[in-house]
Chains A and B, each alone.
Chain A
Amino acid sequence: DVQLQESGPGLVKPSQSLSLTCTVTGYSITSDYAWNWIRQFPGNKLEWMGYISYSGSTSYNPSLKSRISITRDTSKNQFFLQLNSVTTEDTATYYCARGTSMDYWGQGTSVTVSS
């Protein structure tokens, strides 16, 4: 059974970097699919942030392009999100999900940006 699990700090200070990990079990991230990061803001708006493909290529939302990086560790079957220079507007629940059809999601991790 495919499972995704987000992890990372729940509180980040403004201007710092936000770093999250998505650990995938039950499927190899190098086999197929794009592996996405999505966030949901207070008020429930959903925003696709970007993905890393099974081959390692990346695609980012232009609204974040200067601040975002998605990388992976294939030996651990994990992929990562780094978002730089965060502000309070980056406060959200962050999800990882499989594929452009997003057929499997993690349970989400809440991140608050506050001093």
Chain B
Amino acid sequence: ENVLTQSPAIMSASLGEKVTMSCRASSSVNYMYWYQQKSDASPKLWIYYTSNLAPGVPARFSGSGSGNSYSLTISSMEGEDAATYYCQQFTSSPFTFGSGTKLEIK
């Protein structure tokens, strides 16, 4: 199966700071998806087809990458962005998720 490795596992950022997190796939994928999850809530689709923001996602978020390497960037950290972010691929079955990056406020 295609293993997705996210880094860092935990990070903290100050309000207004730029944030970048990474997702590396053991095999090349066509696209990467990202989900945001807050405590005691279901994951929410956040970015699809690598760089498209899901409805309602603020424009300070962006996604990029290709092949084996993808990233999610927040241009200016806001308090509501504190959450865990998971990447996910469905290029090959079984669909797999990364282990998550937990983003905290510094």
Contacts and interface: CB of A to CB of B under 8 A. Distances in A.
Contact of B90 (A44, A95, A100, A106): A100
Interface string B38-74: 0000111100100000100000000000000000000
Interface stretch (A8-16, A22-30, A58-66, A84-92): A58-66
Interface residues of B, number: 20
Contacts, number: 43
Interface string A41-65: 0001111100000000001011100
Contacts of B86: 46
Contacts of B88: 46, 102
B100 A101 contact: no
B48 A44 contact: no
Q: Which 9 A-B pairs have the closest CB atoms?
A: A46-B97, A105-B42, A48-B95, A61-B94, A100-B90, A103-B45, A101-B48, A108-B42, A107-B42
Interface of A: 44-48, 59, 61-63, 95, 100-103, 105-108
19 contacts: A44-B100, A45-B97, A45-B99, A46-B86, A46-B97, A47-B97, A59-B93, A62-B1, A95-B42, A100-B95, A101-B45, A101-B48, A102-B33, A102-B43, A102-B45, A103-B45, A103-B54, A105-B42, A105-B44
